[in-house]
Structure 1
Amino acid sequence: MSEIPHFKIYGEDDPGIESRIQPTLPLRDWEFLTRDEKEIALCEFRNKDSLLDVGPIGFPDNSGEEVLELILYLNHRFLRTLPGKQLHNANYSDEVRAARADFCNIFLEESSELVLVMLSTLLSWRINTSLLDEVKEAKDNEIKNELINSAFREFDSLANVINHIFEQFCVNIWITRSGVVPRQDDKIIREVYVPVLKVLSDPKWKSISDNLSNMFADYQKQAYPEVITKAHSTLQGFLQILVGIGKNGKGELSRLFAHAKKDGIISDNLFSQGVIGAIQSYIVSERANNSTAKPSLNTTTPSDALLAMNVLMVFLQHCLHNSEQNT
């Protein structure tokens, strides 16, 4: 019997071929991309998303309403800076064309902060808030998950486009359902951050998701002590929701941990006890030594803040997994 031939793509057994074709770069801010790199990224954005599409010739161009609203919003919010200079000076008939040109100019020329405000505003508009309102009324978990995923369908599609661009150009951030997070090892992002933040997009967890968004924003602003403060308060608020009790106060976190163990939300085997005990001690210690909760002589570094975020996210994942198994 003749063997079926298997055609091998050149280099498929060579793990180093990708880095030789496209060398890996250190992670960097958006503004450190070259003009050529940003133009390639903008072209990819045009190809994968409808925001900058032009309507058919001879027909009214109704495709530009979203980009027009986006640039109008930026001009209203930052009037003195005036991100959309062409739109501001445009005739009514040319507004959409001017808004598209302004979007491209901001994408190519402006600071990382303005580009991220523009993109994250656009992303927020792609969330179907009406469906999220329905989630609050739904009783069945399967229906709730379907509604949440439907509500974020357009958001996820655009986030995937932007994240692919960020990944290819080694930009140091990643888009999630809870906001912009610092880019790390792909395994941490894909196996911890993405699944946890997907679960927390349920309106039930809105307060926690909002806290995490603020924590990630503080990291971007280099407010590292505030990151640790928010990690502690997020952990406490998360446990309060899970166990259904709690109030702010000294020693409250210890009582919440004990209650969570009793309810099976935190595993009570010997291995988990050691790991969870270390996490609990770490978060409490960091709050005491490196946060804004108390005066501190220590300098909180980016590594301190990033470790606190990662420890928190791993703990949330552990609890969410156990909570799901217990329901």
Structure 2
Amino acid sequence: MSQTVKKFSVTYDAINDSNTFTNGDINCCKMLCDHTYVVLLKTEEGQPYCHVIAPGTHVYPFTFQFPPTIFPASIKVLHGYVQYFLEAKLSRSMKIPNKAATELRYMPKPDLTIPGLMTPQHGMTDKKMKLFTSGNVSFSMQTERMGYYLGENIKIILEVQNSSSRTLKTKYSLNEKLTYHAMGRRDVGFHVIQKEEGEPIPPSTKQTLTKVLTIPPSANVSIFNCKVLKVEHHLKVYLDVPYATDPEIVVPIVILPILPTRDLSAPPQPNTGFEGYSNPGQAGWGNTPYTAPPPAYESYGAYPPYPPYPN
């Protein structure tokens, strides 16, 4: 009988509805091997792991824990990606090893050590009108802080002094800056995540406006700890001036992840403050070696200045 591995795969159990893991999580995994010959499993030290395994399909449960270190989040963008895989390898004497892999979606816990997360962001600018508009305009804006969670609201306070001859319209956009580093080269891309219009400002008036901009839950989180990819976010507030360059204010925003709940029967709930995240305890399989043959498959239960953004 030829010594053949007919099937070799590795899988894991989801711990939440979004099938996402974070640093410190314990993965309960299963390795499946279907072979046509008798196998004697050994540990890395060469000691017997368990009894002789008869030909057939067998499932080997094991656990894997993500390190407590904060890694870049899983992300797929136009010119790059960050992906994580769980890989298993079956090594045999005088044979090419069998390998199996499955992708893991990873979202780190919020890094609350980023400087300035709770610092209010503000700016001001003015513009003298020319050509088809006379007078000038000045405005200032402020946000409550720099750091926000996915799905959270950004409250923007805007003060506008429109001393021009035209009605001006306020506009807001949340932008993403992607910086790629590879083979000694650097490339930068921009993406508008969300864009909204505000209230018009009549000529010769002064107004104080409040605008709430919601960060889409599907947006990418900010990434500063990856050597090949950097993801930054900026909030731009500007006045739409007909036939002229729009005056604008750009401030940095850090988008932090929200960790999903471990309860598969309930949807994830957003957090609105900067409380520390805890990693709830969870039951997991122990790491004690098995002293008996595994069950048959059939019986197993299954961040320079910011460049101008396009309007």
Bin for the TM-score computed over the shorter chain: under 0.3
- Identify the structure with the greater strand proportion: 2
Q: Which has the larger radius of gyration?
A: 2
What TM-score do you get using the length of structure 2 for normalisation? 0.20
TM-score with structure 1 length normalisation? 0.19
Higher helix share: 1
